[in-house]
Structure 1
């Protein structure tokens, strides 16, 4: 099935609420708009891949920060504590196992997105 990423991003406005646009091999392809700073967390059993689509997006680790621009990506290894951030709105694709909760091991909060939401 063909997907227009631009159209899918245009269909929602909220930040930190990933939307599933495709699923394959037990993985979700999720779209998320970001602005501000997400809580520190880790995913004990899953890697996460972040691909910046639009804007500038940071993945912050305790000892360094990686800044991504459009077309750049990073894979966060399983079990590594991190948080994500963007000063202005950014659009990001996330590839991760379907069962992953976006806030990982952090306590539930307003950042904890409902699971299974598709667009």
Structure 2
């Protein structure tokens, strides 16, 4: 479903219960986020991940990761010189600030929710590659 700013609330995932796990289970591959709802200019995306995602950065926006099942590792190195690793387990979330280069990875499959502004390229600014997906793919 493409973005339609005049869409009725139910068409944007509003005024309804959304079963995130059921939505994720209907996705065939890994690293293929799908939009389940919008709030203002933000999208809520569900995704299954496993393995390593390429290092990338979002210069203009923060990115929120909410783990629903499994364990996600986010390695980061920022413009401030800070480097580190965040480990998220089911029920954990983290915000990667704009401008911070990061690499999510998972040894075993992880199911999670991403929260980011509409139009953000999943593989980072100016990126294109095998893990780059088209925006505004609804499920």
- Kindly tell me the number of residue pairs found equivalent between the two proteins: 119
For normalisation by structure 1, the TM-score amounts to 0.96
Distance 1:96 1:22 in 2: 11
Distance 1:111 1:105 in 2: 13
Q: Tell me which residue corresponds to 1:98.
A: 118
Contact 2:58 2:124 in 1 (8 A): yes
For normalisation by structure 2, the TM-score amounts to 0.82
Q: Please, what is the CA RMSD of the aligned residues?
A: 1.0
> Is residue 52 of structure 2 the alignment partner of residue 47 of structure 1?
no
The one of 102, 111, 116 aligned to 2:131: 111
2:61 aligned counterpart, secondary structure: coil
Contact 1:39 1:106 in 2 (8 A): no
Q: Deviations over 1:6-31 (max 9, x none)?
A: 21111112000100000011000000
Runs of 4+ in 1 over 6 A off after TM superposition: none
1:82 aligned counterpart, secondary structure: strand
Measured after TM superposition, the shift of residue 115 of structure 1 is 0.8
Q: Tell me which residue corresponds to 1:12.
A: 27
Distance 2:43 2:127 in 1: 22
Structure number with the bigger relative contact order (C-alpha 8 A, sep ≥ 6) is 1
The one of 70, 73, 76 aligned to 1:58: 73
Measured after TM superposition, the shift of residue 106 of structure 1 is 5.7
Measured after TM superposition, the shift of residue 107 of structure 1 is 3.1
2:101 aligned counterpart, secondary structure: coil
